Amino acid sequence: MQQSQPTMEPAARTSLNVEALRRDFPILTRTMRGKPFIYLDNGATSLKPQSVIDEEVRYYTELSANIHRGVYEFSEEASECYDQTRGIVARFLNAPSEREIVFTKSATESSNLIAYGWAMKNIKQGDEICISEIEHHANFVPWQALAERLGATLRLIPIDPGDASLDLSDLDRLINDRTRLVGITAMSNVTGYMPPIERILARARAVGAVTVVDGAQWVSHATVDVQKLDADFLIFSAHKMCGPTGVGVLYGREALLNEMDPFLFGGDMVLRVRKEKTVFRKAPEKFEAGTPNIAGVMAFGKAIEYLQNVGMKAIHEHEQDLLRYMVERASEIDGLVSYGPADLSTRGGIFSFNVGDAHPHDTGNILDEDGIAVRTGLHCAHPLMQALGIPGTVRASFYLYNTRAEVDRLIESIHRVRRIFS
Ligand SMILES: Cc1ncc(COP(=O)(O)O)c(C=O)c1O
């Protein structure tokens, strides 16, 4: 049985001026199915504020030049804006150097870059890779495929099926002196559960394994300090944190990045090309072959500035408030089963549930009729669904612009699902 026993505490309102923030997101003035649009699919991608949209448009209207190769003013300005964003990301993460920030196209590309650039070279037959059952496919499939290809063993930290948290009782066996790489999510995209990654990373370091933290759900909602985190790699995507699609980040320790092989080869990543041999640039440039998503990277810088102005702590507190309110209101619905630990302080702003016998897609369709966007199904986390023995869930995921009134609308709509399927 996966129903969590929520910790019921009176939900406190938080300091964000949400009504003012909402005006920054033009899409929130739209209607969907003729109803005011309620966006609760932030786990899939976030909405974009006007400043981010404007920066993307500014690149195409005012600059539109390629970077690192033109000597004319617009190209130089575009190069500067692109390169400055690397510094913005580094400061956001408290990274020691901006040379530790590689731009990719997504968190998925970032994990593949580690797999091809580091793991292919350093993992061999008989070695072990340890990840967990709650990983998103982006931090699961690359390691599974690599283990198969190299003859390595893939070990999985299992869940406690009672609440979909991780069962760490066997950690010392799962991460052992054959383990070469440990990959762990900082926040589940299905339940919002934030595993005790410090403990897992400490064990990985103790056996000398390289560590990869999947921050795709976490970085957008938390104050992240990579120096405190002390992981070798951190991956995430701009589009889940008010930025555009098509931009991802690989944070990596500089020494490790420099040891790694490039993954894509071509222009801009080279120092010198001769008929006989090519010399690559150092990281991060050696991983950014070809023309990157210049407009997207520039707009990502604006997204980070936007989030910093609002305040990551305030965002986190606001989401906690919404989660607590959601859990409290959901307890009034007969037959609603939710997934994830009862201790809500171990979770981010995600509420995954099922209603009676209704299939998640049917519930999603009814919510859609009411103007509410949620994600339904397996959430790119098939192994977790397999471990829970369920066909999927409905996922409401919150961000800075969501309100308690929207939670109320969601609850009303779930009551409608209940009536239709009773
Ligand atoms: C936890 C987690 N990791 C990785 C990803 C992959 O992100 P992207 O699709 O932007 O590569 C996602 C996307 O939903 C995610 O939720």
Segment 275-305, tens digit of pLDDT: 999 999 999 999 999 999 999 999 999 999 9
Please report, for the domain that includes residue 231, its CATH number.
3.40.640.10
Residues 112 and 224 in one domain: yes
Tell me if 376 sits within 8 A of 3, measured CB to CB. Answer: no
Distance 28 CA to ligand 1 centre (A): 23
* Residue 132, ligand 1, Cβ within 6 A: no
* Residue 214, ligand 1, Cβ within 6 A: yes
Give residue 2's pLDDT.
Answer: 45
Q: Give domain status of residue 222, yes or no.
A: yes
What atom of ligand 1 comes closest to residue 105's alpha carbon? 11
pTM of the model: 0.96
* Residue 237, ligand 1, Cβ within 6 A: yes
What atom of ligand 1 comes closest to residue 237's alpha carbon? 10
Q: Give domain status of residue 70, yes or no.
A: no
- pLDDT per position as a tens digit, 307-317: 999 999 999 99
Split at pLDDT 50, 70, 90, the class of 422 is confident
Residues 276 and 339 in one domain: no
Tell me if 117 sits within 8 A of 261, measured CB to CB. Answer: yes
- pLDDT per position as a tens digit, 47-102: 999 999 999 999 999 999 999 988 999 999 999 999 999 999 999 999 999 999 99
Q: Give domain status of residue 347, yes or no.
A: yes
Tally: H helices and E strands in the chain: 15, 19
Residues 393 and 273 in one domain: no
Residues 128 and 276 in one domain: yes
Residues 256 and 352 in one domain: no
Residues 281 and 340 in one domain: no
* Residue 41, ligand 1, Cβ within 6 A: no
H or E segment at 408? helix 404-420
What atom of ligand 1 comes closest to residue 214's alpha carbon? 3
* Residue 134, ligand 1, Cβ within 6 A: no
Query: Which of 229, 256, 291 corresponds to the end of one domain?
Result: 291
What atom of ligand 1 comes closest to residue 106's alpha carbon? 11
Distance 44 CA to ligand 1 centre (A): 8
Residues 139 and 28 in one domain: no
Query: Which of 261, 291, 321 corresponds to the end of one domain?
Result: 291
Residues 34 and 149 in one domain: no
Q: Is the pLDDT of residue 8 over 80?
A: no
Distance 243 CA to ligand 1 centre (A): 14
Nearest CA to ligand 1 atom 15: 216
Range of the domain at 192: 93-291
Nearest CA to ligand 1 atom 16: 189
- pLDDT per position as a tens digit, 331-340: 999 999 999 9
Q: Is the pLDDT of residue 361 over 50?
A: yes
270, β-bridge pairs: 280
Distance 140 CA to ligand 1 centre (A): 11
Q: Give domain status of residue 69, yes or no.
A: no
Please report, for the domain that includes residue 339, its CATH number.
3.90.1150.10
* Residue 194, ligand 1, Cβ within 6 A: no
Q: Which of 81, 130, 242, 380 is catalytic?
A: 380
Residues 34 and 176 in one domain: no
The token pair that represents 54 in the structure block: 């404007």
Coil vs helix vs strand at 140: coil
Q: How much is the average pLDDT of 203-228?
A: 98
Q: Give domain status of residue 5, yes or no.
A: no
- pLDDT per position as a tens digit, 103-133: 999 999 999 999 999 999 999 999 999 999 9
Coil vs helix vs strand at 353: strand
Tell me if 52 sits within 8 A of 88, measured CB to CB. Answer: no
The token pair that represents 115 in the structure block: 């797999």
Split into its structural domains, the chain has a count of: 2
Q: How much is the average pLDDT of 409-415?
A: 98
- Check residue 10 and report its DSSP letter: P
Distance 216 CA to ligand 1 centre (A): 5
Which residue type is seen at 300?
F
- Among this protein's residues, is 380 annotated catalytic? yes
* Residue 107, ligand 1, Cβ within 6 A: yes
Q: Give domain status of residue 300, yes or no.
A: no
Please return the burial class of 73, using the count of CB atoms within 10 Å of its CB with bins 0-12, 13-18 and 19+.
Answer: exposed
Tell me if 313 sits within 8 A of 11, measured CB to CB. Answer: no
Q: Give domain status of residue 245, yes or no.
A: yes
Torsion angle of C-alpha atoms 222, 236, 242, 302, degrees rounded to 10: 100
Residues 25 and 155 in one domain: no
Q: How much is the average pLDDT of 382-404?
A: 96
Residues 156 and 260 in one domain: yes
What atom of ligand 1 comes closest to residue 379's alpha carbon? 14
Q: Give domain status of residue 75, yes or no.
A: no
Residues 122 and 259 in one domain: yes
